[in-house]
Amino acid sequence: MKTLRLILGDQLNIKHSWFKTVDKNVTYCMFEMRQETDYVKHHIQKVIGFFVAMRQFSEDLKSEGHNIIYYNINDESNTQDLTKNLKTLIEDHKIKRFEYLFPEEFRLDKQLRDFCKTIDIETQNISAEHFYTERDDLAKFYEGKKQWVMEKFYRDMREKHDILMNAGQPEGGKWNYDKSNRNKWKGEPEIPTYKYFKNDVADVIEDINTAEIKTMGSLNTKTFPYPITRAQALDQLKFFCEHLLIHFGDYQDALHTDEEFLFHSRISFAMNLKLVGPKDVVTTVLNYYRQHSDAIDISQVEGFIRQIIGWREYMRGMYWAFMPDYKTENQLKNNNALADFFWTGDTKMNCLKHAITNSLENGYAHHIQRLMITGNYALLTMTDPDEVDAWYLGIYVDAIEWVQLTNTRGMSQFADGGKIATKPYVSSGSYINKMSNYCQDCHYKKTKKVGDDACPFNSLYWNFLDEKRDMLGNNFRMGMMYSLLDKMDPKDLRAMKKRAQHIIEHQDEY
């Protein structure tokens, strides 16, 4: 009986049980498609990264003896549409059974479910065998609860999987070292030269050019710097353990003009394509820590583990719990346009210039750049979450909807009204100055609230609180800020609101 098995671009899990045995009756298929390159404008490095990793994966399967049909973006037989490609293959190869792995995206999940209803052969979908949790575990965990606070889920994950636990208690005596993860980086400790892979992508670039795929951002060399195989991903992890883990937690929230990556792992692309799984990552980091616990503090390790078994699994669970409605949430009723400089980095605001330039050049920004610089600004300027999503979904090499949408619309833009974050992540210039050196060489003065040279974040911040009082005034975590706002001289507030309005209406002059 002939079986066709589909492998999507973010399902490159060579450890999946599918691949344990070679079965001559099974044919795998993989497609590079316009359907995927065009649903949003992606960063050039993202398209390159997906194609080169997919091509390598198909070569690896082939060399192990598996049958595989691979459609290059410019192949004549490629219809550029997932279900049309599948239908043709099923007919041409007289396929009797179709199998696929659960997609991570609602859009693809629906497309494949609908497709299966239209074909009259056996079909089956199974787990992609990547995450710790199944899609609906999180919703079951919080059933009946009003607030789905991540910390509760995270502690449960620690206990359930016996991670950093000691006789039923959190190792080191604390569940969470978040408060010690807030150091500013001032040139020390030294950051080693990053691990850049030199994956040759000249052919892929040529194919993308031939297909005339519209992309954003740049790649200065013909090599792709992020891991594209499991071996490379493990190599990157090793580098992280040996050189970066020791300071990861301390400088997790830091920002600096000279160091885009600081002590971050840059493992998200490899993980999101499933080149390595979260269990690989957690095991590798914990093993390293056990061997070097005299040198590495638990707060560094806990900070990292929390991102993987906490935030990453939580975001995926939230995505499946609330889609498809989540994608249209706009509870703060924000409708302004995204500033044009998000596509160029051409702004006098030094913090935004660095965060956006880093994103355009590397298809990367670390969490605090995404949350407290670009995300903060987009929210303070009351930008339409659809526009914010389109930017975040396109620009990062690791952006796949299940993790992008929940982080952007939820955590960063508070468009879900607080399902993910207990308060909006907004700040004036003082937080940015506390965590970075951006303000030192900025055109604007970080402490000034009004006047041509005043930091735009200051007036935008107070204007935002004032404008959104109806929706945020009762949020207990915002109480202190609203009482400060209430004590403000109305004349000062009026002046700040005037400046904020000008910024919002003339964003590209700033």
**Residues forming the site for ligand FAD (CB under 6 A):** 264-268, 271-272, 307-308, 311-312, 315, 366-367, 370-371, 375, 392, 396, 398-399, 403-404, 407-408, 411-412
Residue 35, binding choice from ligand SF4, ligand FAD, none, Cβ under 5 to 8 Å by partner class: none
DSSP letters along 287-342, please? HHHHHTTTTS-HHHHHHHHIIIIIIIHHHHHHHHHHTTGGGG--TT---BPPPGGG
> Which residue in this structure is represented by tokens 């935030």?
311
Contact 251, 186 (CB under 8 A): no
Q: How far is the CB of 425 from ligand FAD (least distance, A)?
A: 8
First to last CA, the chain: 64
The reply to whether 432 sits near ligand SF4 by the rule CB under 6 A is yes
Q: Which of 349, 421, 472, 496 binds ligand SF4 (CB under 6 A)?
A: 349
Residue 389, number of CB atoms within 10 A of its CB: 22
Query: What is the nearest approach in angstroms of ligand FAD to the Cβ of residue 497?
Result: 26
Q: How far apart (Å, rounded) are the C-alpha atoms in residues 113 and 394?
A: 25
Interface stretch with ligand SF4, choices 96-104, 173-181, 307-315, 349-357 (CB under 6 A): 349-357
Binding at 370: pick from ligand FAD, ligand SF4, none (beta carbon under 5-8 Å per type): ligand FAD
Report the residue number, 35 or 507, with the smaller CB distance to ligand SF4: 507
Q: Which is nearer to ligand FAD, 100 or 396 (CB)?
A: 396
Q: Which is nearer to ligand FAD, 32 or 398 (CB)?
A: 398
| CA separation for the pair 125, 8 (Å, rounded) | 13
Of 437-466, binders to ligand SF4 (CB under 6 A) are 438-439, 442, 444, 446, 455-457
Question: CB of 510: closest distance to ligand SF4 in angstroms?
Answer: 8
- Residue of the chain from 315, 370, 429, 500 that contacts ligand SF4 (CB under 6 A): 429
The helix/strand/coil state of 404 is helix
Alpha carbon distance 191, 193 (integer Å): 7
Show Cβ contacts of residue 88 under 8 Å, excluding neighbours closer than 6 positions. 77, 79
Q: If binding is defined by CB under 6 A, does position 350 make contact with ligand SF4?
A: yes
Provide φ and ψ at 388, rounded to 5°: -65, -45
Q: Is 375 in the site for ligand SF4 (CB under 6 A)?
A: no
Binding residues for ligand SF4, how many (CB under 6 A)? 14
From the list ligand FAD, ligand SF4, none, pick the one residue 412 interacts with, judged by a Cβ distance below 5 to 8 Å according to partner type.
Answer: ligand FAD
Min dist. Cβ of residue 308 to ligand FAD (A): 5
SS3 406: helix
Give the residue among 338, 426, 354 at the shortest CA–CA distance from 389. 338
Both structure tokens of 400: 């796949």
Q: Which amino acid is at 311?
A: W
Torsion of CA 380, 383, 385, 391, to 10 degrees: -100
Nearer to ligand SF4, 277 or 429 (CB): 429
Which of 55/353 has CB closer to ligand SF4?
353
Smallest distance, ligand FAD to C-beta of residue 366, A: 5
In terms of CB distance, is 255 or 315 closer to ligand FAD? 315
Nearest-angstrom CA–CA distance, 63 and 201: 20
Strands 169-170 and 165-166, by their bridges, are antiparallel
**Residue 347 touching ligand SF4 (CB under 6 A):** no
Q: In this structure, are strands 165-166 and 3-6 parallel, antiparallel, or unpaired?
A: unpaired
Smallest separation (angstroms) from ligand SF4 to the CB of 283: 40
Residue entry with tokens 């959104």: 468
Nearer CB in complex with ligand FAD: 89/378 = 378
CB of 502 to ligand SF4, least distance (A): 15
Q: Is 368 in the site for ligand SF4 (CB under 6 A)?
A: no
Rounded Cα–Cα distance for residues 184 and 433 (Å): 9
Closer to ligand FAD by Cβ: residue 72 or 406: 406
Interface residues toward ligand SF4, by CB under 6 A:
349-351, 429, 432-433, 438-439, 442, 444, 446, 455-457
